[in-house]
Chain A
Amino acid sequence: MRIEELSIPESVKQVIITSGITELYPPQEEAIRAGALEEKNLVLASPTASGKTLIAELCALKHVLERDGKVLYLTPLRALASEKYEEFRKYTVIRKRNRRRVSVGISTGDYDSSDSWLERYDIIITTNEKCDSLLRHRARWVNEISLVVADEVHLLNDAERGPTLEVVLARLMQVNPNAQLLALSATVKNAEEAADWLKADYITTEWRPVVLKEGVLLHDEFHFKDGGAQKIEKPTKNPAMNLALHIVKSGGQALIFAGTRKNSVSLAKRAATDMRTIISKPMKRSLTRIAEEILATGERTRLSELLAELISQGTAFHHAGLGGGHRRTIEDAFREGKIKILTATPTLAFGVNLPARMVIIHDYRRYEPGYGYYPITVLEYKQMAGRAGRPRYDKIGEALLIAKTEDERDYLMESYVLSEPERIWSKLAVERILRSHVLATIAADFAHTEQGIYDFFGRTFYAYQYDPRAMKGVITKILKFLYKEKMIEVNGENVYATRFGRRVSELYIDPISAVIIREALLNRAPKLTDMSFLHMVAHTPDMFPKLRPYSREIDNLALFVDEHREEFMFDVPDEWEDRIAYEEFLGEAKLAWVMDAWIEETTEDETIEKFRVQPGDLYRLIQTTRWLLYSSYELASLFGHKDLLPHLAELMERTENGVKAELLPLVRLEGIGRVRARTLYNSGLKTVKDLKEAPLNKLVSLPLIGPKLAKKIKEQVGGFVKSEEWKKLKKKKTLEQRALTQY
């Protein structure tokens, strides 16, 4: 089926054809035939890169242009939301019937807002969590939605993320029963169940734009599913590395999935040694520029230096310990074919689209502390293997597991290569997870009777798969808890949220966290310090995942806890009576310590050295801490603890910026982060007034402050810049290399 033949507006066809697509892939064709463009609910289960997004785009534009509709696009990750946002932006050249252009909006942050500004957009992209929070705030525009696209719905199976997605979909079906629903999924065994639950038809295919050959490597020989086998050279002792080098030498790229961050780094280091002789001079020149870009992004740490060094050899590692900026640079360089061997932790397989000619699954076992090693699921394996083969570049993609013995090879062939992905199962009925959703159901007016609540949860995927009555016991228990903690009140048959309950629901925190914070604010530590509050939020279940103390840190942490005993809002568990609780407490103390070090201006590099906390983890801790401090502030003001508000507000701002209180006036200026603020302060420019009076060349003489930034500072503080002074400075120009493609 050709794009030309579709019943969509000409303007949309134009945009798609310009982007290089003229013909639909078979699964896309099936989706059209199944009525995707006629407002039919559909579940589309097919492999990565089989073009599910295009169907979503066609449907979305059909709704916006022909039905004056509004589209909500749900993704599980922020990075994916940005990716989709970029893809939809190409349609903003099109004009709607009212002559306005098609508009696309994205919202992924701040859970305590109804984001009424989103109303202006035709296509709204959010994460599942953000959508959940918007529903709790009862954003008005949700009622106007005519199409809901849910991406990666196989995540219903995920214990952490699945329940939110499930509740969001159930709520959207309740608020907006007439909206069309398009659910996109990886291939799973029970797509028909998900479809039946969503009152949708389903299409499930194995079709891929690039042929995928799956197999297992044993020593120097790999065997494919279809019986084929091939031998490779053995330049090194590591079979996975030989495989990667083999593919690089034949002009391809390899993506190696390692089980842990540590493994991904050591594999990348090994690859770099072997790549040294393979990388050509022109490529090296280009890689050097990317390495420089890495060093210029964010604070310089041993991690970023190692990464830059590896990139200049044409290899890199990609894991959640890296900051977002670094990850994006690596992803772009890999897509452009410059990084030849990329090692990654499995998170990459569930995130952005980053295909490679060859995918090597180095570890098929995962380690979980306290649980030991366990093999990954077939679904997980398929997600990783599915990254093999770049559409439009590669004729085939190859995905290989690594075996050490013949037995293991047979096992891997049997359990992964020849296996079908598992069924997906709802993970909703866990008290910890349901608690917040039960409260939200009441607080956001989705139900006001006990029966209404059961009815709502009776419409979830869990209820569909199991017996709805299986959840009833947990829900009853939660209702009792919420009542006891005064988050809900009962009036005859009816259940209402109290002001406390409503606020907790809107703040998007676990009711248990709210109780912990409420009690802490009331009872308070004997000595209230930054540590008191930082530990308080670290103690809540919303601080997740928690940091685990390494065994060699324990003595040191025990000492730290002892020293700060007076500052904690909670009793320290007895070291000998309850060892598990004690170590958990040490972990929370460590987390609070890391945050305290951050706001005392410890550098990112010192944080890695002292706590073994990498930048990516640090940013996540900062985000969560800030959000929980904000929630604490809101609860403190609800419960009338006026005396605590200034301290909490200051702490929140310091956490956001990573500075001591004295730098706050400086970091409020645009373009001034913690490092530059410290530079200014130490040179005697401590206040806005100082900056206003300082001559321009004094600013420019400081490290990290160029003429452009100096001018920007002056503009913000209302200082006066003499034109000749400015002209003189402007002479100091730097040269920037242009690309030929700009001409």
Chain B
Amino acid sequence: MFKVRMADAKFLKDMISAISILIDEATFDLTSDGIKLRAMDPSRVAMVDFEWQKTVFDEYVCGEAMKMCVNISEMMKLLRRTGKDESVELSLDEKTGRLKIAIKGKYTRTFNMPTLEAIEEEVPTPKVTFNVRAKTTTEGLREAIEDASLVSDHVRIEADNEKMVMQATGDIMGATIELKKGSDALLDIEAKEASKATFSLSYLSEIVKAAVATSDIATLEFSTDMPIKLDFKQPKEGKLTFYLAPRIEVE
């Protein structure tokens, strides 16, 4: 059986919202320790690696380990109905395969939705040696990416031991955003060697915009022309990490 409760429904809503940025149908691994999800977006450009220990929940019961696949945007539709100071309860009816979502607060409403046939697909972590590791405030990162989004659909990120520079070149306009080590935005940076890589802004900005609600601190890791890893530090025991493949210059 699977049944969990969270006193603050917003916490769950924000997390599902972050996942729904990339994932269409999500297969969650449910175990007695907690829940996990690793999945790639349909274009196979980005992936999400998410984990919540059972301690994140106010109540957590999971008998046998199992997989649960749901249409995440449908689930999001229901969770959007949660308001301030409301709690949420998820329970899976294994017989009917339906997921029950009970929202309690001003009044109680119980939704149920179908689960889908789980897809057994191993999603391997990209094998990358990262040369740069930058710690930013999630809000600062979001601002910088929003600046870049004004002029282009992609951004080049360059870093050395002192700073991180985002360079966006559009058809008409351009932008350079410089984050210095020790500033409000860039808390820390280490670079084994100076590196630069280019990424799609539509992915980056959606990821960061969604993650900002769940996390204050973000750690970026990347190398020249390699995928970037964005880890959003979670307030409780869990993780939310994204990987995004780069854009590469071709002749």
Contact = CB atoms under 8 A, between A and B. Distances in A.
Interface of A: 249-251, 280-283, 285-286, 289, 336-338, 393-395, 706-708, 730, 733-743
11 contacts: A251-B69, A280-B71, A282-B20, A282-B21, A282-B22, A285-B43, A286-B43, A733-B250, A735-B154, A740-B46, A743-B128
Contact of B251 (A250, A338, A707): A707
Nearest to B251: A708
B198 interface: yes
B114 A738 contact: no
Nearest to A706: B251
B225 to A, nearest CB: 9
Interface in B168-208: 198, 200, 202
Contacts of A737: 45, 200, 245, 247
Nearest to B43: A286
Nearest to B46: A740
B76 to A, nearest CB: 9
Given A251-B116, A282-B24, A743-B127, A733 B247 contact: no
Central interface residue in B24, B117, B126, B127, by most chain A CB within 10 Å: B24
10 A-B pairs closest in CB distance:
A251-B116, A286-B42, A743-B126, A286-B43, A280-B73, A735-B247, A733-B249, A738-B245, A739-B44, A740-B245
Nearest to B126: A743
Contacts of B44: 739-741
B41 interface: yes
Interface residues of B, number: 40
B248 to A, nearest CB: 6
B227 A743 contact: yes
A209 to B, nearest CB: 15
Given A733-B249, A735-B247, A736-B248, 6 more contacts: A249-B71, A251-B114, A280-B24, A280-B72, A289-B43, A740-B47
A249 to B, nearest CB: 8
Nearest to B69: A251
B77 to A, nearest CB: 10
B117 A395 contact: yes
Nearest to B202: A285
Interface string B65-79: 000010111000000
A735 B250 CA distance: 6
A735 B245 contact: no
B245 A730 contact: no
B212 to A, nearest CB: 18
A707 B249 CA distance: 14
Contacts of A394: 117
Central interface residue in A282, A336, A395, A730, by most chain B CB within 10 Å: A282
Central interface residue in A280, A289, A733, A736, by most chain B CB within 10 Å: A280
A638 to B, nearest CB: 49
Given A734-B250, A735-B198, A738-B245, A282 B126 contact: no
Interface string B208-251: 00000000000000000011000000000000000111111111
Given A395-B117, A708-B251, A733-B250, A742 B245 contact: yes
Contacts of B243: 740
Interface string B127-155: 11000000000000000000000000010
Given A733-B249, A737-B245, A743 B226 contact: yes
Contacts of A736: 247-250
A622 to B, nearest CB: 32
Contact of A281 (B21, B198, B244): B21
Nearest to B70: A251
Interface string B38-57: 00111111110000000000
Contacts of B73: 280-281
A283 B42 CA distance: 6
B1 interface: no
A280 B244 CA distance: 19
B121 to A, nearest CB: 10
B117 A393 contact: yes
Contacts of B25: 251
Nearest to B119: A393
B249 to A, nearest CB: 4
Contact of A282 (B41, B117, B154): B41
A338 B42 contact: yes
Central interface residue in A281, A707, A736, A737, by most chain B CB within 10 Å: A737
Nearest to A741: B44
Contacts of B248: 735-736, 738
Contacts of B127: 743
B67 to A, nearest CB: 13
A190 B170 CA distance: 67
A286 B40 CA distance: 12
Contacts of B46: 740
B23 interface: yes
B45 A740 contact: yes
B114 A250 contact: yes
A730 B249 CA distance: 11
Given A251-B117, A743-B226, A734 B249 contact: yes
